[in-house]
Amino acid sequence: MEQTGLFLTHVWSDRIARHFDRLVRETEGVVRWHLVRDHGDGDMRCETLVGEPAASVLSVRHERMREAGTIHGGLLDSLIWPFLLATDSDFVWLIEYDVDFSGDWATFFRQFQTSGADLLTTTLDPRSDCEDWFWWSTALVPAEVPPEQLYRGFHPLMRVSRRFAHEYRRSMEDPAWSGHYEFTLPTAALAAGLSVEDIGGSGPLCPEHRRGRNYRSMPRDGSLPSGTFVWRPIRKRYFIERPRDFEVADLLYHPVKPNVANWEAPPAPRKTLMGRLRKWWRRSKRWRRL
């Protein structure tokens, strides 16, 4: 089953082009790729897909993005959703230019050809396990969404089903939803009763057969400080340029920034005494159950 993919980038160079060409070449017959480029100020274009105007798809979130004057703060979904809906595929991959894989890309994508998950992404953890994530302060949900469905993910690479793409569009028209799309995507999918799976790692939504595979990170630290699929530090060369810099084979790596200006995340909030006590209490309860 060939799937569709969107390669997302706000910068372009010969190095990024070679990285994209490797992805296309190695996944021929597995994923059909479209190049989606951000030309600045929310002007995203794709020569091979024509979608609805972004302002009419996720209209509430797009208006918030317009008012803020930036997608930073987790509103990238308002710009990419039109392209996702413009495909004719049941499942669509989205990958950012700074994601790499230390092996044959086809090996990675073939793992998921028989998966029916509505959302495949990384670093999925419930709020109770990652209270120090910076963007919880902006997270709001409708009253009927229970606390145990509040999840945070990390989406430089993800796959979305057509069913979830339409459900997410419908859900986000309710202004009661607010926050970073790393939170709104998995939480909205769970709230709608759809299937959500981790691509790998060790979180609670990772199927047993993928546990410990595909990437490494420390998801319960909100700043994702170490591993192969993290926020920072950056790598400066792609796998195709210097394979020896990628320590472990057949893993996802992020971020790779080839001659791209660096920018930092907002500082994580300081942990309060009550926050530390709540974390200790949760861990002690798990220990007593053993």
Average pLDDT over residues 67-80: 92
- Rounded Cα distance, 258 and 241, in Å: 10
Strands in 3-9's sheet, in edge-to-edge order, are 44-45, 31-38, 3-9, 91-96, 151-161, 119-126, 196-198
Tokens 């930092």 sit at which residue? 264
End-to-end Cα distance, the chain: 43
Tokens describing residue 271 = 């942990």
User: Per-residue pLDDT averaged across 50-66, rounded?
Assistant: 95
The residue with greater pLDDT, 172 or 266, is 172
* Phi, psi (deg, nearest 5) at residue 270: -70, 140
Query: What are the pLDDT digits (tens) for 102-160?
Result: 999 999 999 999 999 999 999 999 999 999 999 999 999 999 999 999 999 999 999 99
Tens-digit pLDDT profile for residues 11-24: 999 999 999 999 99
Residues 121/157, Cβ–Cβ less than 8 Å: yes
What the chain holds in terms of domains, given with CATH numbers, is 3-289 (3.90.550)
Average pLDDT, the chain: 90
pLDDT of residue 262: 60
Is 283 a residue whose pLDDT tops 90? no
Pairing of strands 3-9, 31-38: parallel
Residue with more model confidence, 196 or 268: 196
186, 152 contact by CB (below 8 A): yes
In tens, the pLDDT along 17-46 reads 999 999 999 999 999 999 999 998 788 999
For residue 223, is pLDDT > 50? Answer: yes
Give the least confident one: 187-196, 197-206, 279-288: 279-288
Structure confidence at residue 87 (pLDDT): 96
Residues sharing a CB contact under 8 Å with residue 261, sequence separation 6 or more, in sequence order: none
The pLDDT assigned to 281 comes to 47
| pLDDT tens digits, one per residue of 228-282 | 999 889 999 999 999 999 999 999 999 999 988 765 444 444 444 444 444 444 4
**Cis amide leading into 146 (omega within 30):** no
pLDDT given at position 164? 99
Closest CA to 148 of 186, 176, 197: 186
- Look up the pTM and report it: 0.89
pLDDT in tens, 89-109: 999 999 999 999 999 999 999
